């Protein structure tokens, strides 16, 4: 049977750990992020985390419902950092674009953590705050609830999908990533036009673009489509029609 998570008021250590620090959820999450960065997902365990914190490994289970609970907290931390780095302007499309880029950047700052958490729904306060913010931007802009949820769904899945995709490239060893990036000039650019006319014709453009994330371009496409949808709905409403 999994150990019961102890309420926060009851689980605070009265004494510092061997490292001279007092444990907290935030400290454990930040230590886990550092371990993921240094050792990858395979290196995150209660034993290693306890050693890094200077505490007994079982201490982790007083704060989280196992390593899965810690994983959810890590995902929440990345979402919270994105929200903290973002400032609303009141222009819905610009605000969604900047928030999407902030989410993407927050995850890419910790690629190993991104691979571990991008597909998860944490249900924790900071993630819920991000979701509330996105839906609030859309509903305030004039999207009806159905369209707001549709755009929200596409928006958040797009941000997290690209976060996982781009984090995958960052999580590999530097020499492996360099070899992959070099492929566009070492292999694709040398394909003969007789056998691969379309690649040969665009090889210089492929080399310039394919090592950069396509997320900003695809995000703009999504927001452009949403803006067109909103304009069409407003136009029909102005003429007395339905949505």
Instruction: Quick: pLDDT tens for 114-150.
Output: 999 999 999 999 999 999 999 999 999 999 999 999 9
- pLDDT at residue 16 greater than cutoff 90: no
Instruction: Give residue 24's region: left, alpha or beta (phi > 0; psi -120 to 50).
Output: beta
Task: Decide if 159 contacts 222 (C-beta within 8 A).
Answer: no
Q: What is the pLDDT of residue 20?
A: 58
State the DSSP string of 86-123.
Answer: ----S-HHHHHHHHHHHHHHHHHTSHHHHHHHTT----
Mind listing the pLDDT tens digit for each residue in 27-78?
A: 999 999 999 998 888 888 899 999 999 888 888 888 998 899 999 999 999 9
Query: What are the residue ranges spanned by the domains of the chain?
Result: 1-64
Mind listing the pLDDT tens digit for each residue in 72-117?
A: 999 999 999 999 999 999 999 999 999 999 999 999 999 999 999 9
Mean pLDDT of 182-190: 96
Mean pLDDT of 205-217: 96
**Half-sphere exposure at residue 74, Cβ-oriented, CA atoms within 13 angstroms:** 31
Distance CA 14, CA 221 (A): 53
Distance CA 162, CA 144 (A): 27
Distance CA 74, CA 234 (A): 40
Between the CA of residue 163 and those of 75, 113, 159, 201, what are the distances in Å?
12, 10, 6, 30
Q: What is the pLDDT of residue 243?
A: 45
Please state which of the four CATH numbers 2.30.30, 1.10.10, 1.10.287, 2.40.50 is assigned to the domain occupying 1-64. 1.10.10
- pLDDT at residue 14 greater than cutoff 80: no
**Half-sphere exposure at residue 205, Cβ-oriented, CA atoms within 13 angstroms:** 5
Tokens of 116: 């571990």
Task: Decide if 72 contacts 122 (C-beta within 8 A).
Answer: yes
């Amino acid at each position: 049977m999994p150990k019961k998570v102890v309420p926060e008021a009851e689980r605070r250590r009265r004494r510092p750990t061997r490292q001279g620090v007092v444990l907290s959820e935030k400290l454990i999450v930040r230590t886990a992020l550092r371990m993921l960065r240094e050792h990858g997902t395979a290196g995150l365990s209660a034993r290693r985390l306890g050693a890094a914190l200077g505490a007994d490994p079982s201490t982790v289970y007083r704060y989280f419902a196992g390593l899965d609970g810690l994983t959810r907290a890590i995902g929440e931390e990345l979402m919270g950092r994105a929200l903290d780095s973002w400032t609303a302007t009141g222009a819905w499309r610009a605000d969604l674009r900047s928030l999407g880029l902030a989410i993407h950047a927050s995850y890419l700052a910790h690629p190993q953590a991104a691979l571990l958490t991008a597909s998860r729904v944490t249900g924790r306060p900071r993630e819920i705050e991000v979701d509330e913010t996105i839906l609030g931007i859309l509903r305030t802009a004039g999207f009806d609830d159905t369209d707001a949820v549709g755009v929200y769904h596409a928006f958040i899945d797009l941000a997290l999908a690209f976060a996982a995709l781009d984090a995958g490239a960052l999580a590999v060893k530097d020499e492996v990533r360099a070899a992959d990036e070099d492929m566009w000039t070492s292999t694709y650019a040398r394909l003969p036009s007789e056998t691969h006319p379309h690649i040969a014709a665009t090889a210089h453009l492929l080399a310039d673009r394919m090592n950069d994330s396509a997320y900003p371009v695809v995000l703009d496409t999504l927001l452009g489509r949403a803006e067109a949808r909103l304009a069409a709905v407003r136009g029909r409403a102005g003429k007395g029609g339905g949505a």
